[in-house]
Chains A and B, each alone.
Chain A
Amino acid sequence: MSDILRLPVEQVYQSELDALKADDTGNKPYNWAMSPQAVVTYLMGGKTASGVDISAKYIGHRRIIETAVATLATDRALLLLGVPGTAKSWVSEHLSAAICGCSTQVIQCTAGTDENQIRYGWNYAQLLAHGPSKEALVATPLLRAMENGSLCRLEELTRMGSDVQDTLITVLSEKMLPVPELNDAIFAQRGFNIIATANNRDKGVNELSSALKRRFNVVVLPLPDSVDQEVEIINKRVAEMGQSLDLPVPKNTADEIAKVVAIFRELRGGETLDGKLTLKTPTGNLSTAEAIAVMVGGLSQANWFSQGQLTAAEISQSMLGAIVKDPVQDRAVLEEYLETVLKKRKGYEDYYHHLNQVL
């Protein structure tokens, strides 16, 4: 096992990618590593023609992934939209791994991101020594992707300022990046495209200008439809993460996951799963990703401090952290939920007890 905490996905799933490429007979868009159909199979799971199992990377509607891949197969940029924790970045990572074999050309957009981090920077030593020249340019991931005709990922696009966002307009519509200092322009090679992710729930984000929005095909990733689907996602991710973190996964994990998912879904949806009782919702959004984090936290606690026993006691602590984001409001919400729902529910006595204890 490598010493790297989390390998890029193209390395983790290299064998699957290779198997898909080996059997891929479909037409490939220019500079793509595999055909669009194979990309969809890679994301959704399935079998290659020669019978190699491909694990599902995204569990949900196939149509969503198909739309995403179809978008990238044109020269339109893809914007993945959704509340936090709906696998936006995960999907974008896997899409770029499958399409151009590289998921690491990424720009993390923040409020502090400026144009130089999007377009190009200057190597000031060069600039002072030789004046402006192509050699003095410091390429950004975007510029590099344009030059080698591959995908560039923009994480959390709406977090950076609107003025900086709009730098992308020319790149997206004219597929070139002007360098006015050199009276030159960098033209994108075929195969270049952008996958951006953005979150439509957070406060303090910068809305996309309509000029920019128009240049994206938008795909909204929803929260999982059904309990089973969500449990499946979490099971899979927890097992994978347990493996990469060297945490043993006890047998009862699946049961506990089901309970955590039930609690999360009820609080998130504002009503009990049987639809009989309306509940208050906490301020956090209790996404699938958070449920995964809760479970991994629980596993870690169980492994290091509880002799490998995973019970409500281990999970409750991290669960509290996930639910109570606002110390006053959310605490009241949780208390009410515990007293009105969990107290009477069979099989959840432990959760009632331990959550009450840590609250």
Chain B
Amino acid sequence: MAHSDIHYFGIRHHGPGSSKRLLAALEQLQPQYILIEGPADCSDLLPLLAHQQMKPPVALLSYAVEHAQSSIFYPFAEYSPEYQASVWAKQQQIPSAFIDLPIAVRLAQMQAEQLHSEDEEHTNAEQLTPNNNQSDGKSDDQSNNQENTPQLTALLRDPIGVLANIAGYQDAEAWWNDLIEQNRDDSLAIFEQVEHAMTALRQPVAQDSPELAHDHQREAFMRLEIAKIAKLCDGPIAVICGAWHVPALKAKHSAKDDRALIKALPKKLAASKHKSTWIPWTSARLATQTGYGAGVAAPMWYQHLWQHRQQDDHIAPWLVFIAQNLREQGAVISTASVIEAQRLCLSLAAVRDRPQPSFEEITDAVISCMCFGEHALWEQIHNTVLLGHQVGQIPDDTDLVPLLEDLQKRQKKYKLKPEALAREHSLDLRSDIGQNKSILLHQLQLLNVPWGELLDSGSSRGTFREKWRLTWQPEFAIKLVEHIVYGSTIEQAANNKVMASLAKEQNLAVLADSVLNCLTANLSQATEFGLTQLTLRAGQVSDCNDLLTSIAPLIDISRYGSARTLSLSQIDALIERLAIQAALALPYACRNLNDEEAQHVQQNINSAHRALVLHLGDTDILAKWWQAIEAIAHSDQSSYLLIGLCARLLYQNERLSREQLSTMLDKMLSPALPPAQAARFFDGFFTDSVDQLLYDSLLLNAINNWLLQLEETTFVEFLPLFRRVFSNLDAMERKRLFDTLFNNKAHAEIVQNIDTNQHTYWQQHMEKLAKLAQRNKDWLA
């Protein structure tokens, strides 16, 4: 049975003007069923859109469970006609449904395309993924087809925008407004006019052009869906879809042809393999600037238009809003300027023959009157004003992606609100709540969701304070969804993800670092696994550098772990084992190195030494370590840079006497040795400890003699080295050094003569103080 009472409303996605007219038209028509362009298999999610707690901007997210990276979003703003229609349907208590191709088919298509492109170009596969992520489900996602003629693409994306451009408007909404507000006749007629325009626009497009193939399928599907629902329903039906599709939906096609068209579609994904839900969106993401296809240039302006749709004067509030923003930036904007801007808007609109000022006029007027003609000033606030920082909200009882659900739960529990605007948080790790917050943020970081940015990372480790900067991006929700393969809670997913990467990791140092990260993120499972891995790998590692670099983070873990109340008995054993291994391998690792390698080893020895001395105290293992250092220092085969370093470490710890050092210096700096070798020794010895020269005459004399006997050319050759080493001294120290060298002053300063005559006075003085300490009142006597 044919149903004749079907009404088609061609709207502009995200057009507040469309919404306003649509609502009026719906009131007039009082349909019994509302059909909306959107994935048919998500229809049961549609009533949620009208939920009281649903606060746009929100988006319908659909993703393939096994390939969470293939996902599609259908964003809705408060002013989206689709959103308003669904709210209306809920108020009137009439059913509504989506009628576009099911998400199961779209995802299957997407995966097929991905496979296709991966076959074509393995290397580019990564780049194509984000492309698919961005693709817009609602409008016509032809983005995969790179050979689109730009005109046709524009037409498919925003046909009303194209019409507006033809009419000389930059902003499609202004055109729609002028066109429609001028003709204040009944709303139904307006949609007819829009349909005529679309028919005219569609005419010249070749029906068989490849860009349209996808559209044809979609339209065929929608026709079938409409027919199906028409059979169930008696009253008038309202079909709300992109204006572009109206002529095609209205055209007569036999159901048989349509079915044939749909046959060509890939097979649906099984219901268990895809999932759809609502996620919060941000106003900024609605904008075209962020790469989203059918977006709007100025979401906040549209929002404003929508909010003030019932008022005649919506310009003044907008100008005041801009003025406030400018004032926040420090510009002095008087009320008089705002009034002048308003007047200029009006006269500009008159000059341009427009019924009322639109976005363009207002921008021009603002620049001229409020920014004193300076574009730079406007650009400063342009993003805040036009894009805004709104984040949508979804009802508490929405069927959430499990990870998101977990996140929301913890956000609520720890009182961390997702906000688009950056905000700094200082956490006290001694309190439970602070620690919990920190753990959550660290776990999210491991899941590639950098909601928080640790501001003073590194220095804060081990202290009780952390400073974070929190900025929530809607992409984070998507990233979380991608990680759903790892587990259904954030902690579990983070644990599993880290464990997966730990299992593959061969490098000891990276392993040790990851374990440290796991600790801060309180992932006990992954930490334990990491430690096991470390123990396993430690046996296999022969490269001394790996051993050395893993020691410092492990010692960090050991010290940090005890502060975090985590049992880490095996970690100390591991450190000891690694230290022994390193100590054994070290002397050999210091041989036959070129300069670059030697420097690398130098750094590693330095960091490991510092950590070991701190951690091990006086143990046998430390003794082993010192043996290794000694072996390096006394071996002719070691790199001279490292000999220098080790000699200094020994000397500083009084494991090398002055006599021994003196002999060593003479030997290393003797004229027979090539100056390059001597310079390396010098480098190793004095890098980071040149201040030793200030109070050690032995060293000073040795170096002084060596430098003096260098030939001029050699001296010049090593000048950069000397400059580098001596630049560690500050101005005062350098002066002291020069004084010592040239005036022999320093000795006079340092030498202290003890005046024994004063001895008795001291004795008395101390006795008095002792009395005072005993609170004896007559201590002065």
User: Which chain A residues have a beta carbon within 8 Å of chain B's beta carbons?
Assistant: 36-37, 40, 63, 66-67, 69-71, 73-74, 76, 79, 81, 210, 213-214, 217-220
Contacts and interface: CB of A to CB of B under 8 A. Distances in A.
20 contacts: A37-B351, A63-B360, A66-B348, A66-B352, A67-B348, A70-B348, A74-B343, A76-B340, A76-B344, A79-B373, A210-B332, A213-B372, A214-B336, A217-B344, A217-B369, A218-B369, A218-B374, A220-B373, A220-B374, A220-B375
B277 interface: no
A73 B336 contact: no
Nearest to A72: B347
A306 B674 CA distance: 74
Contacts of A214: 334, 336-337
Contacts of A66: 348, 351-352, 364
A342 to B, nearest CB: 33
Main secondary structure of the interface of B (DSSP, over half): helix
B372 A67 contact: no
B142 to A, nearest CB: 30
A125 to B, nearest CB: 43
A70 B350 contact: yes
B636 interface: no
Contacts of A74: 340, 343-344, 347
A208 to B, nearest CB: 9
Interface in B472-493: none
Contact of A81 (B336, B343, B373): B373
A183 to B, nearest CB: 29
Contacts, number: 57
Nearest to A75: B343
Given A40-B351, A67-B348, A219-B373, 19 more contacts: A36-B347, A37-B351, A37-B353, A63-B360, A66-B348, A67-B344, A67-B368, A70-B347, A70-B350, A71-B368, A73-B347, A73-B350, A76-B344, A79-B373, A214-B334, A214-B336, A217-B368, A217-B369, A219-B368
A71 to B, nearest CB: 6
B323 to A, nearest CB: 13
Contacts of B352: 66
- Which 9 residue pairs of A and B lie closest in terms of their CB atoms, listed nearest first? A218-B373, A70-B348, A70-B347, A220-B373, A36-B351, A70-B351, A217-B368, A73-B347, A218-B372
A219 B374 CA distance: 9
Contacts of A73: 347, 350-351
Contacts of A37: 351, 353
A69 B361 CA distance: 13
A210 B333 CA distance: 11
A70 B353 contact: no
Contacts of A213: 372
B365 interface: yes
A69 B375 CA distance: 19
A188 B668 CA distance: 96
A81 B373 CA distance: 8
A151 B269 CA distance: 73
A203 to B, nearest CB: 19
Contacts of A217: 340, 344, 368-369
A301 to B, nearest CB: 38
Contacts of B347: 36, 70-71, 73-74
Nearest to B371: A218
Contacts of A67: 344, 348, 364-365, 368
A76 B369 CA distance: 10
Contacts of A218: 368-369, 372-374
Interface in B234-262: none
Contacts of A210: 332
Contacts of B351: 36-37, 40, 66, 69-70, 73
A213 B348 CA distance: 20
Nearest to B360: A63
